[in-house]
């Protein structure tokens, strides 16, 4: 699967989430995109909605946050009024990303957002965790034939199955599921990263992580567990403020995360039981059989005169049981590499 020119799976696809981290200043948004590239991101992700496309202006209890979040007491409309990225910015932000060699795409929250993103030739769609039950939205986005990245933070297995089937029913099999903790910020103990390989196997998709914890530990562990996509909120400077600032990584933090993820990738390597040149050279320090005491011809070999020791130039230690109790075929000196011909009658060497 490719997103723009990026082959998903060859290395971890690292997404910097802009979200609300622009303070309603397009210049800050553009600087953030450029900084994301410098910090090592492969992509920048926007969110495409307005307060009116995602909720309604209403202060009834249903529309006031009261779930133990950092935004409790605010209405949904007020929060999204502060957080949204103006639609008239999108074309310029896509262009800025392109100039930087950074892939740009977005999370749409209604059909009109998808129509806008299609005009901008978005290379992928991201469905936010809270929209995973919006099957008409998923169907419309998937019908465009672009890779679908879907967060699963609040989803049951049934929700995930329905979302995946919806994509496949319109002929879209390019699906990435992201393990997400839909808490802001999220606690490390709630990450439950063991779900990443299970998502990949259970739904036959590529799996990854959308992370709201602080720091780089969780993305690194996710990489070790097979995550092929890592998404993390990115802010130029937390002094900008805004609803997402507290759980977003700044430039230095994001850069450290990218470096840690890339190093984790290197450490994974590949399944290969053949020895590298370095490993072959190191085998000289392995155990092997040596004469460890001067031994006369005809003497019986015991653990006093032949042992498995370092280095590894002598006979393989597996032959020791055959040797013990046999007699020496000739005079031997301490420190000689043991050879099959040292034994009267020889050894059955394979």
Report pLDDT digits (tens) over 205-215: 999 999 988 88
Spatial CB neighbours of 52, under 8 Å, sequence gap ≥ 6: none
Residue-wise pLDDT tens digits, 66-104 = 877 777 889 999 989 988 999 999 999 999 999 999 999
Q: Are residues 34 and 130 in the same domain?
A: yes
Residue 64 lies inside a defined structural domain of this protein: no
b/e burial code for range 82-103 (CB count within 10 A of at least 16 → b): bbbbeeebbeebbebbeebebb
Q: Are residues 170 and 295 in the same domain?
A: no
Domain final residue, candidates 249, 268, 287: 268
How confident is the model at residue 311, as a pLDDT? 95
Mean pLDDT for the stretch of residues 263-272:
92
Say which CATH number the domain at 295 has: 3.90.1210.10
- What is the domain count for the chain? 2
- Domain encompassing residue 310: 277-342
Domain final residue, candidates 268, 296, 311: 268
Rounded CA-CA distance 13/133 in Å is 25
Q: Are residues 325 and 231 in the same domain?
A: no
Number of Cβ within a 10 Å radius of residue 164: 23
Q: Are residues 183 and 154 in the same domain?
A: yes
How confident is the model at residue 156, as a pLDDT? 96
Residue 158 · residue 219 · CB < 8 Å: no
Q: Are residues 244 and 293 in the same domain?
A: no
Q: Are residues 240 and 284 in the same domain?
A: no
Domain final residue, candidates 268, 302, 325: 268
How confident is the model at residue 182, as a pLDDT? 66
Residue 54 lies inside a defined structural domain of this protein: no
Q: Are residues 214 and 338 in the same domain?
A: no
pTM for this entry: 0.87
Please state the φ and ψ torsions of residue 27, each to the nearest 5 degrees.
-70, -35
Q: Are residues 258 and 292 in the same domain?
A: no
For the chain, the 3-state helix, strand and coil shares in percent, each to the nearest 5, are: 40, 20, 40
Q: Are residues 292 and 169 in the same domain?
A: no
Say which CATH number the domain at 105 has: 3.20.20.70
Please work out, in degrees rounded to the nearest 5, the angle formed at the alpha carbon of residue 70 by the alpha carbons of 67 and 73.
60
Q: Are residues 148 and 221 in the same domain?
A: yes
Q: Are residues 259 and 166 in the same domain?
A: yes
Residue 68 lies inside a defined structural domain of this protein: no
For 114, half-sphere exposure in the C-beta direction (CA atoms, 13 angstrom radius) is: 19
Range list of H helices, 84-224: 90-100, 111-119, 135-142, 157-169, 195-203, 217-224
Rounded CA-CA distance 149/45 in Å is 11
Residue 205 lies inside a defined structural domain of this protein: yes
Residue 38 lies inside a defined structural domain of this protein: yes
Residue-wise pLDDT tens digits, 299-345 = 999 999 999 999 999 999 999 999 999 999 999 999 999 999 999 99
Residue 137 · residue 126 · CB < 8 Å: no
Rounded CA-CA distance 137/166 in Å is 10
pLDDT higher than threshold 70 for residue 169: yes
Residue 228 lies inside a defined structural domain of this protein: yes
Residue 261 lies inside a defined structural domain of this protein: yes
Q: Are residues 306 and 232 in the same domain?
A: no
Residue 235 lies inside a defined structural domain of this protein: yes
Average confidence score pLDDT of the chain: 94
């Amino acid at each position: 699967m490719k997103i723009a020119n990026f082959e998903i799976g060859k290395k971890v696809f690292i997404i910097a989430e802009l979200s609300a981290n622009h303070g309603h200043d397009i210049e800050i948004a553009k600087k953030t995109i450029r900084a994301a590239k410098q910090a090592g991101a492969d992509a920048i992700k926007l969110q495409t909605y307005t307060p009116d496309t995602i909720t309604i202006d209403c202060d009834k209890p249903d529309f006031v946050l009261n779930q133990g979040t950092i935004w409790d007491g605010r209405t949904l409309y007020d929060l999204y009024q502060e957080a949204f990225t103006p639609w008239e910015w999108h074309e310029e932000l896509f262009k800025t990303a392109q100039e930087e060699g950074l892939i740009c795409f977005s999370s749409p929250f209604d059909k009109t957002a998808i129509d806008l993103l299609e005009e901008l030739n978005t290379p992928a769609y991201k469905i936010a965790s809270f929209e995973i039950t919006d099957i008409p939205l998923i169907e419309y986005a998937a019908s465009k034939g672009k890779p679908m990245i879907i967060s699963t933070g609040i989803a049951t297995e049934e929700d995930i199955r329905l979302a995946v089937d919806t994509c496949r029913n319109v002929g879209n099999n390019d699906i990435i599921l992201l393990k997400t903790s839909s808490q802001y910020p999220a606690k490390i103990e709630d990450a439950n990263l063991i779900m990443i390989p299970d998502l990949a196997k259970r739904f036959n998709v590529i799996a990854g992580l959308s992370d709201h914890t602080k720091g780089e530990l969780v993305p690194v562990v996710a990489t070790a567990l097979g995550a092929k996509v890592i998404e993390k909120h990115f802010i130029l400077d937390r002094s900008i403020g805004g609803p997402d600032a507290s759980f977003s990584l700044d430039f230095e933090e994001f850069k450290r995360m990218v470096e840690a993820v890339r190093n984790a990738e290197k450490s994974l390597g590949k399944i290969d039981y053949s020895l590298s040149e370095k490993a072959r050279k190191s085998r000289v320090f392995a155990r092997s059989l040596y004469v460890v005491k001067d031994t006369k011809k005809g003497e019986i070999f015991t653990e006093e005169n032949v042992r498995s020791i370092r280095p590894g130039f002598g006979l393989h230690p597996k032959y020791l049981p055959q040797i013990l109790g046999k007699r020496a075929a000739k005079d031997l000196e301490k420190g000689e590499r043991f050879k099959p011909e040292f034994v009267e009658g020889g050894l059955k060497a394979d």
